[in-house]
Homo-oligomer: A and B are copies of this chain.
Amino acid sequence: MFSKACEYGIKASIFIAINSYKGKLVSPKEIAKEIDSPQAFTAKILQDLVRHNIINSIKGAYGGFEIRKEELASIKLSQIVNAIDGDNIYNGCGLGLNNCSEEHPCPVHEKFKSIRDNLKYMLENTNLEELALDIKSGASFLKV
């Protein structure tokens, strides 16, 4: 479904979100430990998310990654997925035709589109804050 990079990116963002609540910066090392991902690879993904203005980095000593508190509720999963994997998963054809359209549908188009639209809707309407709160309360988990 999502690439490894994207899975790490989502989980990392959630972990950063939790800590940003408390005003705490986190490092790639801490993040990789908490989400059970390769550290250097995770660091690359974090850079990517910074470039896409999804997370914020503070360079130098005592630096780290954060998400501005006021943005926590407005950052949607779709932004993270789009930044890392692009929009193919929720806009592209399920069988790889160049374009998904009603005019030139692939064999699964009719059956696939509602699923893909549900996914799109879910990604565009799920924000980091709600996901972070579930982790905080122990209702969900980032690893294992």
Contact = CB atoms under 8 A, between A and B. Distances in A.
Interface string A105-144: 1111101101100110010001000010011000111111
A60 interface: no
Nearest to A7: B96
Contacts of A7: 95-96
Contacts of A111: 122, 126
Contact of A105 (B4, B115, B141): B141
Nearest to A10: B95
B94 A144 contact: no
Contact of A108 (B98, B109, B131): B131
Given A89-B1, A115-B115, A107 B94 contact: no
Given A1-B94, A111-B122, 18 more contacts: A1-B1, A2-B94, A4-B96, A7-B95, A7-B96, A97-B143, A97-B144, A98-B144, A104-B144, A105-B139, A106-B141, A106-B142, A107-B141, A107-B142, A108-B126, A111-B126, A112-B122, A115-B119
